[in-house]
Amino acid sequence: MNDMNSTNKSFGGLLLVLFFTSMFSGCSIQLLAERDEVSLQQMEKLAQDVDLLFTQLLYMPPDRRDYQSNAAKYLSVEVKLNALKMRQESRVMNELTIKQLDIAIDLWAQDRKRHEHQNSFTDFMLKRYRSQYKRLFLAMIKGEEAKEKRLES
Amino acid sequence: MSIDISKTFSDMAQVAGQSIEEGGAAVGSGITEVLNNNKQSLAELAQARVDSEINDEDFANELAREKLIVEAEMIALEIASKAAVQKAVNGAMDVLTKAVAAAI
């Protein structure tokens, strides 16, 4: 309860500082990049591509879940993740989305290497990875959707 | 024409308060959702280790992955909080600007 009160006080203090900053600068404040529909579409497409890979692997018998047959799909997702990161880097006040994307890029590289090294996947791990990437992309999409839309002039 | 500054400030506080209240409620339910997802995922992981479905190395790797996923989920809530503050301040300033414009 005390934690909540101190959080509310800090939050109120921050609001007050931002309010007066905005008042004296005479313009609206910007804490985040504006919402970008293209980024949202790219995030949704990536979520689909990753879901497709893990679901396809899950439908295959375990002895056919080799890395080489799926290497092109890993490469395709990696290229799309890099393109999405490049788009995010060109936007101002967008560090938080870049941080989310860095997590996705690191995990993807790690998972590609793991599949290549082990050359197989258990049902348990496939279901787990599919669910984790769903949570990860959903977090990115929710973050992007929380940003304000650019006002049409 | 004069400006009723008390009423204007009261309107500004109301607009800001409403944005913060809406944003705060969304962040609160978001934290509960993240914790529930994490709880379910960790419970499955612990059970898999107990059942020897995964070894110690996989278990440690999976714990590290889970931390990263939760971090990404928490970042989404941080973005939502910042968006609520931005909307509150800009909404309040908009009220003031309109009140001044109407009084001129």
pLDDT classification of A41: cutoffs 50, 70, 90: very high
Is residue A42 within 8 Å of A104, Cβ to Cβ?
Answer: no
Task: Give this complex's ipTM.
Answer: 0.83
- Residue B101's pLDDT is what? 85
- Which are the contacts of A119, defined by CB distance < 8 A and separation ≥ 6? A66, A67
Give the residue from B31, B41, B44, B69 with the most A CB atoms within 10 Å of its CB, the best one to mutate.
B69
In this complex, the residue of B75, B82, B83 whose CB is nearest that of residue A100 is B75
pLDDT digits (tens, 9 = 90+) for B39-91: 888 999 999 999 999 999 999 999 999 999 999 999 999 999 999 999 999 98
A48-to-A36, A125, A144, B13 alpha-carbon distances in Å:
19, 18, 17, 43
What is the rounded radius of gyration, in angstroms, for the C-alpha atoms of chain A? 20
For residue A126, give the nearest of A44, A65, A64 by alpha carbon: A65
pLDDT digits (tens, 9 = 90+) for A102-149: 999 999 999 999 999 999 999 999 999 999 999 999 999 999 999 988
Question: Which residue has 């309109």 as its token pair?
Answer: B98
B26: chain A residues, CB-CB within 8 Å: 146
Count the alpha carbons within 13 Å of B14 in the hemisphere toward its beta carbon. Answer: 8
For residue A80, give the nearest of A100, A113, A104 by alpha carbon: A104
- d(CA B85, nearest CA chain A) in Å: 7
Q: Which residue has the higher pLDDT, B38 or A77?
A: A77
Phi-psi region of B52 (alpha: psi -120 to 50; beta: other; left: phi over 0): left
Is residue B37 within 8 Å of B74, Cβ to Cβ?
Answer: no
Q: What is the DSSP letter of A56?
A: H
- Residue B28's pLDDT is what? 82
- Residue B11's pLDDT is what? 84
Total Cβ atoms within 10 A of residue B63:
13
